[in-house]
Structure 1
Amino acid sequence: MALLDYWVLAAYMLGIVLIGVFYAKRNRSAQDMFAAGGQAPWWVSGLSGFMTMFSAGTFVVWGGIAYKYGMVAVSINLCYGIAALAAGYFVAGRWKTMGVDTPAEYIELRFGKSVVQLYTWAMLVYRIVGTGVALYALSIILVALMPLPEGNPFRDPNTGNLAVEWAILAFGLVVIIYTMAGGLWAVLMTDVLQFIVLNLSVLFVLVFMLQAIGGVGTFIEQAPAQFFAPVSEGYSLYFLMGWVCIHFFMVGADWAFAQRFISVPSAKEARKSAYLFGILYLVSPLVWLMPPMLYRVIDPSADPEQAYIAACLSVLPAGLVGLLIAAMFSATASLASSQLNVFAGVFTENFYRPLMERRGGSGNLVTVGRWITLLIGLLLIAVAISIPYLGGAEKVIVSVTSLMVGPLFAPTVWGIFSRRLSARAVWSCVLLTFAIGGAFKWLLSLPADGSISPSTLAWLTKHSAVIELGIGILVPLSVLALFTFVIDRNGTPGWIPDRSKNATSNAGAMASDLPARVVAVAMGLCALLLMLIALISHERQLEIGLFALVTSGISAAIYLLGTRTKIAPEFQRAL
């Protein structure tokens, strides 16, 4: 990276820290800290949910699949959009009408404290490991671009570049600082800004790469055979169907997504936020997965996991490489900050508050939440540094998602619609699915020495992705159906939310207009930064200047919308 790239990256990271500091004073209660006071606009919630799906691992894993298989990667990511639309229609609004401040509060009311304990620790491990992989992937990308002179204390002697551990620590601390200070408001607002930076960077790369290879026609002519097929041998139609089902449960019940549905003023806006998330995932994957697909034509022998960054480096001038790294940091920071805020909220509201109330006090929940955010953040950094000893990006992400999402989140969605589901059904669902999934992974690890025939082992390995999805979907749903219609059929009905009480508590609630103003100012600063890059850079000045003008126009439009919202409340309520 050039010196200008370092300045761009540093300016971006400083900016999101300042957003956290700006929103710190808005956190006067635990509801402000972990639910944005129920005043988050639906479009902020939707964009934040969209960004929570992203990380640097997205560029490494799905970028690698796009480089190897082409349109298959796009098909897989379109599944997120279908799942989000379904979750918006069936589930999103119900989270808001239940009158809870955190998803864990619903779990405790619905299934009891034992299930909260199960979910908290199981999902903490699941999410911390997944986020640690993303943070590690981001750091790997960064250090490859940062050679350091001999004798520098941050240098890795084996590579001559910045040591991965220092990169993880630096990025991790930035995320911890703004999440601690600003709570869910900071998470939501930085997610919106990260959405802008990510898509701006990818548009740069896409335009420049199409120019480099001679246009869409040249790309179609030189692409490998079957490169535009929507499925492949490893990712079949059955896999895509299962991927939609798995992510319906994830978007509908993962605590990070549920928290966004809770943070808006009404059930209608919760549904709209999910619809925005889904629509974006139906139109955007082709755009941000196109660079590694185009790079396949330029260099057919590249490392698939490095294809995305290689594609970007092949066309971006100085300054925009820093913006690219900022975009990748944006994606990972969105994922990490969401998990930090969610689990800090769970431990504060569902563990610390009851303990203090039993002792006759409550303590300062905002301060406690910040300290818990710090502790979980340090754990995340430690896990990310340990990732080299865990190994396996693509297969780990697919396997963990397939085998853990269903048993962890399907009972939550099922319990929203069925009053007969009990705590023992949740325990049975989770333990049985984990046991069968673990047995299948053990079976795949057996040597082909007679205990299992080589042909059978080869078939199982070849179709392992579909089989794991089948286990992760069919086993939980079978267990839940068995308990609902047979075992718990005559049991005590579960908790029913007091909808009238919740409607009263939310009467007159209105989304804040401040996010529109913050986004407008931040976009204006991005436009100014792009204009400075255009003036300093010796490459592609016209294109960069054009993007700067477009960005400034969008900034002005958002600012005017925010001003109009302030003087016309009925327009804000209509949103």
Structure 2
Amino acid sequence: MHWINWLIVIAYLTYVVTDGVRKSKGTDTIAGYFTANKSLPWWVVGLSVMATQLSAVTMIGTTGQGATDGLRFVQLYFGLPLAMVILGVTLVPLLHGSGVYTAYEYLEQRFDAKTRSFTAFLFLLSRGMSVGTIMAAPGVVFSAVFGIPLVWAVALIGVPTVIYTMIGGVQAVAWADVKQMVLIVVSLVAIMCVLLMQMPTSPHDALQIAGATGRLKTFDFGFNINEQYTFWSGVLGGTFLMLSYFGTDQSQVQRYLAARSVDEAKTSLIVSAYWKIPLQALVLCVGISVFVYYQFVQPPLLYNPVHEQAVTAQRGAAYDELQNEYATAFTMREAAALEVSEADDEVSTTAAMEIFLAREGEVQAIRGRALSMAEEVTGESSRDVNYIIPHFVLNELPLGLAGLFIAGIIAAAMSSISSELNSLATTSVIDFYRRWVRPEASDSHYLAVSRGATALWGLFACVVATYAATLGSLIEVVNRFGSFFYGSILGVFLLAMIPRARGTGAFVGLLVGMTVVGFVNFGTDVAYLWQNVIGAGVVVVVGVALSGSKRKPALP
């Protein structure tokens, strides 16, 4: 990478870390460290919420998803606005006004200690794995750039993030998120402008090619619970996923607990909800544009450079033959794509599209053989969707812009990782250490333990990251991790709003809910979004059935 790109990246890293340390003022108490003394304005909370979601996984995994699968993925977010409205009148005022540091503290107030601890444990497990996946995204980029092992690439982004999170607490994290959100949006808009200017064909023809391959298909109204992304899985399953994520996940709850008032907390979530879908569509459109660009500019047969080197070393002759086939097939597909762009009537356009799709099928078949060869040689998953955008950025973007986009990936990674680590440390200390180990201690003691917990969770995330990078589309991996736990956790909070629900029913319901979701996940082909609905439904039904008719007195 050119030294100018390096300069941009290093300057940004230096700025974020120093600014995070500067924002640590007022974090010498647990109220300041965990909730910023409830001093953050709504727009800071809203941008922090968005930055936490728009992680490096989004910048790499979702753009790659757009390149390979198109706009279908945006259906996942169709339930987000509805979820935010529901949370605004239920959990947000309930938790913000309850004086808690974590969402799970409230469960002991409402039910009992075992329900609180079990729910908090499930959060730690799910979020610990997810933050590792988020950390894997920039690790993929740096591994490709530097040619170093993934573990060192992960450490390169993880260590500075852990340091400024340990020092600054939620206040430093939230204000850093504001600046990082700006950089993320600027880098996405910049790369989209470059793609439009460098595209070998007109935007209209580019849309025709993307549409012919199904990448502009946004809505799928078919009701099939085995299909991952449909309108109904997004509206129903997505709503439950978002309710659980924004309403019960400490990484999000901690944001609106830091807001100055309940009204500002509600506003922050509504704003983030209605900006999320357009931003997600922009990210997917970047991926689709990269796909169209590579119809005219030959990309590598394997995007993962490590796998390509391994295959070349062990199957050199066979891979060279495959490369020659690929070059021939690409030339024929490029000619077909040009025919589509030059067609001037409906009949010729339809005929050209049929030829183009046939040529596209031939290219993908050769790619499939190469991926199978890579899997045989390396013994690893050969899905390289997470390497598509890094390859484009490093090889096609103008000088300086590549550094800006990589800085944007780092910004996205640091905003999400810091938020997750801060929430993991908060839950570890408040829901376990202070509750069960050291109920009485000074704020300075709890802050020291919190910083130690942040470091330990950072180490755990680095270990998970080295594995998650081989699991396929990173954005899907994050949502799969979340969906396995989120529905059942949401069910417990729904029970908390049912007057007759009691602690035993909530605890047993949570156990049964996780068991059922485990069976659905490992024993069926049901799409993961529906696990949120199933988990929440099972917990509520079992919890209510076991709670009897007596109600635990409501807290004032």
Change (3 A) 1:360 1:274: closer
What is residue 424 of structure 2 aligned with on the other side?
A: 343
SS in 2 for 1:145: helix
SS in 2 for 1:364: helix
Moved more, 374-383 or 25-34: 374-383
Whether the 8 Å contact between 1:291 and 1:312 is mirrored in structure 2 is no
State the shift of 1:359 in Å.
Answer: 6.2
Whether the 8 Å contact between 1:433 and 1:476 is mirrored in structure 2 is yes
Q: Which amino acid in the other structure matches residue 128 of structure 1?
A: G
TM-score normalised according to structure 1 size: 0.74
State the shift of 1:113 in Å.
Answer: 1.8
Change (3 A) 1:442 1:340: closer
**Is 1:431 the counterpart of 2:511 in the alignment?**
yes
Whether the 8 Å contact between 1:92 and 1:274 is mirrored in structure 2 is no
Q: 1:230 aligns with which of 199, 203, 218?
A: 218
State the shift of 1:177 in Å.
Answer: 0.7
Q: Distance in 2 between matches of 1:363 and 1:15?
A: 27
Q: Distance in 2 between matches of 1:358 and 1:193?
A: 37
What is residue 308 of structure 1 aligned with on the other side?
A: 389
State the shift of 1:236 in Å.
Answer: 1.9
State the shift of 1:404 in Å.
Answer: 1.6
State the identity %.
23
What is residue 469 of structure 1 aligned with on the other side?
A: 529
What is residue 84 of structure 1 aligned with on the other side?
A: 84
Q: Distance in 2 between matches of 1:250 and 1:74?
A: 17
Q: Which amino acid in the other structure matches residue 240 of structure 1?
A: G
Whether the 8 Å contact between 1:249 and 1:413 is mirrored in structure 2 is no
State the shift of 1:59 in Å.
Answer: 3.2
What is residue 159 of structure 2 aligned with on the other side?
A: 173
Q: How does 1:162-201 map to 2 (within 5 A)?
A: 162-201=148-187
Q: 2:481 aligns with which of 397, 400, 403?
A: 400
State the shift of 1:357 in Å.
Answer: 6.0
Q: Distance in 2 between matches of 1:104 and 1:128?
A: 16
What is residue 443 of structure 1 aligned with on the other side?
A: 523
Q: Flag structure 2 segments of 5+ consecutive residues without an equivalent.
A: 221-226, 301-383
Q: 2:271 aligns with which of 248, 266, 276?
A: 276
SS in 2 for 1:28: coil
Higher relative contact order (CA 8 A, sep 6+): 2
State the shift of 1:97 in Å.
Answer: 1.9
Deviations 1:288-338 (A, max 9, x none): 221111111122577533333344345522222122112112222222111
Whether the 8 Å contact between 2:140 and 2:469 is mirrored in structure 1 is no
Q: 2:191 aligns with which of 202, 205, 213?
A: 205
Change (3 A) 1:321 1:230: same
Deviations 1:254-294 (A, max 9, x none): 11111111111111011001111111113222222211111
Q: Which amino acid in the other structure matches residue 491 of structure 1?
A: K
What is residue 323 of structure 2 aligned with on the other side?
A: none
SS in 1 for 2:145: coil
Q: Distance in 2 between matches of 1:274 and 1:359?
A: 34
Change (3 A) 1:106 1:250: same
Q: Which amino acid in the other structure matches residue 207 of structure 1?
A: C
State the shift of 1:483 in Å.
Answer: 3.1
Q: Distance in 2 between matches of 1:75 and 1:469?
A: 11
Whether the 8 Å contact between 1:81 and 1:277 is mirrored in structure 2 is no
Moved more, 268-277 or 355-364: 355-364
SS in 2 for 1:491: coil
Q: 1:327 aligns with which of 391, 398, 408?
A: 408
What is residue 315 of structure 2 aligned with on the other side?
A: none
Deviations 1:104-132 (A, max 9, x none): 32222222221232122221121111111
Q: How does 1:104-183 map to 2 (within 5 A)?
A: 104-146=104-146, 161-183=147-169
SS in 1 for 2:23: helix
Change (3 A) 1:261 1:250: same
What is residue 480 of structure 1 aligned with on the other side?
A: 540
Q: Distance in 2 between matches of 1:254 and 1:407?
A: 12
Whether the 8 Å contact between 1:344 and 1:369 is mirrored in structure 2 is yes
Change (3 A) 1:58 1:82: farther
What is residue 41 of structure 1 aligned with on the other side?
A: 41
Whether the 8 Å contact between 2:495 and 2:543 is mirrored in structure 1 is no
State the shift of 1:56 in Å.
Answer: 2.1
What is residue 552 of structure 2 aligned with on the other side?
A: 493
Q: Distance in 2 between matches of 1:429 and 1:392?
A: 32
Moved more, 131-140 or 61-70: 61-70
Change (3 A) 1:200 1:389: closer
State the shift of 1:199 in Å.
Answer: 0.3
Q: Distance in 2 between matches of 1:475 and 1:336?
A: 27
Report the number of matched residues. 461
What is residue 377 of structure 2 aligned with on the other side?
A: none
Change (3 A) 1:48 1:361: closer
Q: 1:421 aligns with which of 482, 485, 501?
A: 501
Q: Which amino acid in the other structure matches residue 33 of structure 1?
A: Y
State the shift of 1:394 in Å.
Answer: 5.9
SS in 1 for 2:450: helix
What is residue 20 of structure 1 aligned with on the other side?
A: 20
Q: Which amino acid in the other structure matches residue 272 of structure 2?
A: F
SS in 2 for 1:218: helix
Q: 2:247 aligns with which of 252, 257, 261?
A: 252
Change (3 A) 1:40 1:142: same
**Is 1:4 the counterpart of 2:64 in the alignment?**
no
Change (3 A) 1:346 1:440: closer
Change (3 A) 1:474 1:311: same
**Is 1:63 the counterpart of 2:63 in the alignment?**
yes
Q: Flag structure 1 segments of 5+ consecutive residues without an equivalent.
A: 147-160, 445-459, 499-575
What is residue 525 of structure 1 aligned with on the other side?
A: none
Q: Distance in 2 between matches of 1:292 and 1:25?
A: 40
Q: Distance in 1 between matches of 2:138 and 2:232?
A: 31
Q: Which amino acid in the other structure matches residue 200 of structure 1?
A: V
Q: Distance in 2 between matches of 1:402 and 1:355?
A: 29
Change (3 A) 1:335 1:429: farther
State the shift of 1:403 in Å.
Answer: 2.5
